[in-house]
């Protein structure tokens, strides 16, 4: 179900928020701020990727909105 999530505790390392945090931590990956111009940019990309997965039949059309809402929640968590 699109509103259910498998617990990923300790199974991933989140991106830092800013370039300064990245440099301080030594993380070689781009920060959230370096990857996206902001919330609208992230959601546009997330929605486009979701729509492509619907088109490829990896996501059911009726689950699209729930998946996009989950993307919104992920952004909020990652940037708070």
- pLDDT one-digit tens code per residue, 18-76: 999 999 999 999 999 999 999 999 999 999 999 999 999 999 999 999 999 999 999 99
The pLDDT of residue 11 is 74
45, 30 Cβ separation under 8 angstroms = no
Q: In 3D, which of 52, 32, 10 has the Cα closest to residue 68?
A: 52
Query: Could you tell me the pLDDT band of residue 5, with boundaries at 50, 70 and 90?
Result: low
Enter the tokens of residue 30. 């781009």
Q: In 3D, which of 7, 38, 13, 41 has the Cα closest to residue 27?
A: 13
pTM as predicted: 0.83
């Amino acid at each position: 179900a699109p509103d259910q999530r498998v617990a990923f505790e300790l199974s991933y390392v989140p991106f830092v928020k800013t370039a300064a945090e990245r440099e301080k931590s030594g993380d070689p990956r781009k920060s959230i701020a370096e990857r996206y111009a902001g919330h609208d940019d992230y959601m546009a990309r997330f929605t486009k990727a979701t729509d492509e997965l619907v088109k490829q039949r990896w996501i059911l059309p009726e689950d699209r909105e729930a998946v996009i809402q989950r993307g919104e929640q992920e952004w909020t968590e990652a940037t708070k």
